[in-house]
Each structure stands twice: as C-alpha cells, then as structure tokens.
Structure 1
C-alpha cells in the first residue's frame, strides 16, 4: 500500500483509508438485496442505504478535490439525502463496483494533497466553516462508523461476522 504523501499530516489518514477500502467489501459480502433493505422494524438506516451513502461520500470528497465523477446512484444520495422508505436501492454489487472505481482515484488525490489545500477552509453549512483537513478527517471517521454499522447489520441479519483477514 502506497502511503508516501505530499503532506505528512495525511500519512495516518491514508493508512486508515486503505483499511476501509478493504473492510468495506467484506462488510457487505453475501448480504442479499432483500436483507440489505431490512430495517428489522426499526428506524435505523438499512444496509443498502448505509452502503450507498458511504460510496457517495467518497465520490463527494473526490469531487471536492477536483475529480469529476459520481456513483451510479448519485441522485438517491445527492446533497446528503437521507433514507427514503419508498425507494428500492440498487444492489450492493452496484455500490461495490462504484467503490472499486473511486477508491484508487481518491487515494491518489489524498496522497498528493498539499498542506496549503489542507489548510484551506470552506463553508460546510451556513455559519460553519472547517478546513479541508478537518473535513477529510471527518470523512475517514464516518467511513469507520458506517463500516461498523454494516458489521452490526451482518450479525443482526444472521450473517457471519465481518472478517478482517
């Protein structure tokens, strides 16, 4: 795994990014499309939405770093759209294919990002500014959270635990 970064601040984040890149497909392996939509009579986000949201997040970060690309199901997640009970989300295999496309492209952007870019700020929401470094750190944190939720869904739905091998 290549972790030579332009900015030393990115080194540990790229290591986590690589870990998540490998954990994600293991978190969704063998989950059926029916089970991926099962909320087990709760209001929790189901595995299909979590998966698509996670993929959308990688594409959104890549877009912020100058990459012009979007996942196949972009319109279902655009502008941080929440879960919609009326939607049948695409198969997890489609999300995985989009994940596999963006992962190396975004990693390349993360490896070459400069300290100047990391220190740049933007308005996350009205009245709330953050640096690009803070945002990337948040994205990496959220990836871990979503993969953990998918791992929990695996167990709740009767699948084997996520394998880290």
Structure 2
C-alpha cells in the first residue's frame, strides 16, 4: 500500500484497488484487438465491452470525489448502457490509457476519504446508497469483470492470466 488511508474502513479496499489496477492490465496482456470484440456466437459481453465498462466505473466513481475528467467511455457506456450488438468498441490501448490516467487520481481520493465523506448519500435513481457502499460495490465489480476477462482469455485460446 502506497500510503495509509485516512479512514480505517478503506484499508482493505485500497489493498484490493491496488491489486485490481494491476490485474486488469495483466488480464488484457497480449489480447489481439480482433479477439477483444469476439462474442463466440453468444450474447455474452466481450473483452472490449467488459474493459470499457470497468474503466467507465472508475471514472464514474471519481466524479463522486470531484474528479471529472473525459474518458473514451463517456458515450458508449453512459447511463450504464449495456453492450451494443454489432458496435465496434475502441481499441484496448485506448481503454488502458484511460485506466492508467484515472486509477492513481482515484486511489489518492480513496486514500484521503474521511468517514464523513464515505457516508455521503449518492444520487442514483431508484437507489439509496452511500459513497462507501458504492466504493465497495465497485471494488467487487472490478474483481468480477477481471475474472470474466481471465475466462475469455482461455476461451479464446490465450494462456491463463499471469498474476505475478
């Protein structure tokens, strides 16, 4: 861990955040662009969509801390938009660039978050949720999506994800 979080509630989340920041890059390592868009005759979300969705999640969460930066995901993923059949998603390199841009900024905000900040209510239609609950959900979702990409690697004939 780079630095101790202001709120003790964030310690485990920061540890996971740091791991997942690296794990996404490892999961995407060596994936060819044509393979990133494959759905293998299913309705499953492909690697490009999953990656963009995770990137968009970090940008969304960053806005709760006043970090409002543009991302390649702004239009394709607005309002939690699901995968669009036959759409060509941006290259993984573009998603990775955004990931590397937002991740350290959001980590700093998460590390400096006070208990008072974590208890702020978020304005999400149909939900009453605190910022801490959203951070917890986002942390869970990042891990879930990275796992999906790791599975796609194997389904597409790539070696398993390298965790080291």
Normalising by the residue count of structure 2, what TM-score does the alignment of the two structures yield?
0.97
Stretches of structure 2 lacking an aligned partner (at least 5 in a row) = none
Normalising by the residue count of structure 1, what TM-score does the alignment of the two structures yield?
0.96
Match of 1:112 in 2: 112
CA offsets 1:19-42 (integer angstroms, 9 cap, x no match): 000100010111111111110111
Stretches of structure 1 lacking an aligned partner (at least 5 in a row) = none
User: Are 2:100 and 1:100 aligned?
Assistant: yes
Comparing 77-86 with 45-54, which one deviates more in the overlay?
77-86
CA offsets 1:44-97 (integer angstroms, 9 cap, x no match): 100000000000000000011110113123111111111001310011111001
- Length, aligned pairs only: 164
Listed as ranges, the matches of 1:3-82 within 5 Å are 3-82=3-82
Q: Is the 8 A contact 2:150 2:161 kept in 1?
A: yes
Please provide the CA RMSD for this pair. 0.9
CA offsets 1:80-133 (integer angstroms, 9 cap, x no match): 11100131001111100110001100000001111001112124322x201111
How far 1:3 moved relative to its partner?
3.6
